[in-house]
Every structure is written in structure tokens, then in C-alpha cells.
Amino acid sequence: MGDPKGSLQENYSSLMGKARELFILQSMGSIIGWDMETKMPPKGIQQRSQQIGLLQKIGHRMIVDPEIGRLIEAITGNKDYDSLDRIKKRNVHLMKKDYDEETKLPEKLVVETAKQSAITVDIWKKAKVAKDWEMFKPDLEKLFELRVKAADILMDVKGAKTRYDALIDLFEPGMTAEIITEVFTGMRRGLVKTIGDIQGAPRKADPSILSKSVPVATQVKIGESLSELIGYDVTSPEAGGRIDETEHPFTAGYYDDVRITTHYYEDKFASSVFSVLHEGGHAIYEQNLPRDWKYQLVGTGCSMGIHESQSRFVENIFGRNPEFWSHYYPILCELTGGALAGLALDDFVLAINHVEPSKIRIEADEVTYGLHIIIRFEIERDLFAGKIGIDELPQAWNDKYKEYLGVEIQNDSEGVMQDTHWADGAFGYFPSYALGNIYGGQMLEKMAGDIPDYKEKISGGSFAEMRAWLVENVHKYGNLYDAADLIKVVTGDDLRIEPFLNYLDDKYSNLYGY
């Protein structure tokens, strides 16, 4: 037998070799998922569901390979285990977490869930267009039951108190519904106060001025311009990204091939502007993870909440910043070829920061947005607790929108069917959106201390300083920490809602004059 320390390193290298193969397979699945949403002809859905199911089966068999369990046991049981650095220990920890969870999930359940998810998304698209909940409901019920089965299994292996906690942990490791409920309760109070202050303010926004007609071809050029500005390359011979059109914007890919999507409406050009910035924020996070960690578990995003903090940082903290538009608005006017003639900068800035309770989450302003997420969180929590059933989702949704946002839902396409996430089986994902806002507020507070003149940099048309700060303080850590620990490393504080609420109050009191 060789030297024990050498054996430890050999086992670790073998484990990382298996991780590399898993990441390559997952990146393949990401691209065919992207194709399904962007380029695949309608007839291909059944065939695609089989392809996705097979990839999931292969991936599941790879992660539950007993050899992985043997390697993990050999590494963690080695007397020289503590000689591994923290990066290697984190890789082993994350691999063990995945292995322990996946070995408990039956292959049949994994494959059936993947197939049903692809079919349910396809049905959702059709049902949303038809405004027909009854068309969507049967497949959603099938998918929900599959996720319940998975949650029951994962509760045990994760040591989670509830089914819903087990699913939340898939997206936000270590987070629970109990913690989120407490955080969201405080956030809701703060948001309601800010909304009230804005509604009573002397200055008013006129969002109708954003309904100017801008051709899709022009919006494509605007998207490319904004992507270049934030450092997301979609046009050069060395580009690692691209922008395509889809029903629901998303980001997909890995390191050197990270693709974003948007949607174009001729009479709502701002929608594409901010979806490009939002998805571009996701993309530059993925592309700025440490190159040396590619194909390692530490070389992935920390959590979906941290991922969302990066996208909303670019979209809102940078992209809706008045200083940014003092620089970019003349460029936008030139790109649109006179379509915005006569529209003053101040009116434009107020319009893109218009705050008003609305029905559609992805079109919501950054103040009311959190209430959209709270509604979804509370519905998911009650659904997995058995307090409501799939049949009751539309009414529960409509009631909460009336109570929390004061809006009347007219049909289920603008209500319970507006998002793709449940159709995709991503129950437990929604809380990450609002947590991302909160994380972003804390990051901004720290960044403002490190770069006191960051607003001046933005007004000069530069995102470089903000991007460099995010790379150095967030991106470079990849998945070395869970989100709660990463926030403490970045900011020195535990999770706090006050920085985000203070950011909103400071920004909107200046904009609206209250």
C-alpha cells in the first residue's frame, strides 16, 4: 500500500474526476433545456422530454455510483484528512451532500420528474396563452405529487422539519421557512411603509411615456449595447454569451457558454432593457467564478438567493440608478432614432422607477416586488403543509393579491399561471428572489463604504468599478460558503433587512420628494 497521504490525494483526485464528468453532463442538459425554450419546434416536446429524462437518469446513476461513496468514505476517514485545505474539504462536503441526497431518491422518481417537468412546462405555455387553468391543472398535479414524494425522502436525509424546508434547501442551503417567515414579516412592514410614502408624495411618475413604439430590431441593438456595458460579451469572436427571445427570460450555461434570454414588446421596450440587465447580472456572476475551480463543486454559484442578488444588483442598483441614465439616456435616444424625442431625462428616470402595486411579478417595480414573492412563499408553504390543494391555488392567489397588493386578478394567466417555476417543478425557489434583494442591500452598504464615489463612477458610464467589487467580494468565493456565511464574510454582518429598506427609502425619497 502506498503512502497514506498520497492515497488521500489520489482518492481526492478521483472524486474530482467524477465531479468533472457530472458538470459536463449537467452543462449539456442546460443547453438542451435552453434550446427547448428558444429554438425547438413545437412538435419536439415529447421527444425532448425523453432526452431530458435520459440525461437525468445518466446523471443520477453517475452521482449514486457506489465508487463515489467509497471515495468519500476513504477521504473523510483518512487520518490525514485535516491536511486538506478548506477548498478541498468544501468540495468533499458538497459532494457528500449531493451523494447522500441522491442515493435516497429512486431513479424512477428522478426520471419521471424530469419527463413530467418538460411536459408540464409545454402545457403551461399553451394554457397561459389560452387563459385556461383547467388545461394546466392535471399536469401540475402530477408534478406536485412527484415533488411531494421527493420532499418526503429529502426531509429525512437533510434533517429538515418539513417537506417545504427540504425543498427550500435545494436552492438556499440551510434556510428554513421559519427563518424566511420572520425575515419576510419585517420586510413586508418596511415595504408597505415605503409604498405608502411614495403614494403620498408630491411628485408622480407617468409610466405611460414608456409605451413609445420601438421596433424589435432596435431593442436587439439596445440589448447588445447594455450587455457590452456590463461586460457580458455577446458579439465579439471570443463571445461567451448570446441573447435570445423566449416567453419567460432566464439564464442558462456554464463558464464559457452562458446564454441569456429576453422578450420583446414593441410598445414596452423597457421590459427588454431590464430583463437583459437582470439576466446579464446572472451571466457575469457565472462567468466570473474562479477559473481554477471549473468542474469543481466550489466553482458554482453559492445559492439561488446570492445568484439573484447579483442579477438584481445589475438590474436595479445599477440599471435603475438615476446616475446611470444621466450617462446612458443620450445613447438610448440615439439608438431608438428619435422614438423618444421630447421625453425628458427626469421624466424617463421617474417612469422606470414608477412604484405601483401590479399583477405581474417580472414587470413589478423593486419596491412592490417583494410582496409578489411573499405571496408565492406563503402559498407554497401552505401547499406543502396540506393547508390548501392544487384546486385551490387560483383562489388563494387571487385573495392574496387583493389583500397584499390591492389588485384584482382578471384571469389565471395574469394570476396563478404567470410564472414558469411551478410548471418546472421548482417549488421552494421563489423565496430566493426576495432574499436576493436583501443580500444585495447588504452588499451595497458595504460597497458604498469601499467605493464612496461609486455613483460618480456610474454617472461617467462605468460599471467596471462595481463589477470589480462584486468579483472580488462575491464571485471569487463561488460556493466556498453557504449563503448565510458568505454574507458574513462579505459584509461582516448576519442577514439583515435594514440595508435594503434603507436603500429603497433613500432612493425613492429623492426621486419622489417625500
Cell of 96: 457528500
Place of cell 411536459: 119
CB 406 within 8 A of CB 453: no
Check 37, 101, 279, 308 and give the catalytic one: 279
Place of cell 463558464: 255
CB 223 within 8 A of CB 230: no
Where on the phi/psi map is residue 245: left (φ > 0), alpha (ψ -120 to 50), or beta? beta
What CA–CA distance (Å, rounded) separates 130 from 127? 5
What CA–CA distance (Å, rounded) separates 12 from 204? 61
Nearest-5° Cα angle at 433, 94 to 346: 140
CB 432 within 8 A of CB 305: yes
Q: Is 73 a catalytic residue?
A: no
What CA–CA distance (Å, rounded) separates 417 from 429? 16
Cell of 108: 424512477
Q: Which residues contact 494 (CB under 8 A, 6 or more apart)?
A: 484, 487, 488
What CA–CA distance (Å, rounded) separates 180 from 305? 12
Closest to 34 (Cα-Cα) out of 259, 272, 284, 307: 259
Q: What is the DSSP letter of 271?
A: H
Closest to 437 (Cα-Cα) out of 227, 184, 88: 184
E-state strands within 32-114: none
Cell of 332: 438610448
Cell of 9: 490525494
Q: Which are the catalytic amino acids?
A: 279
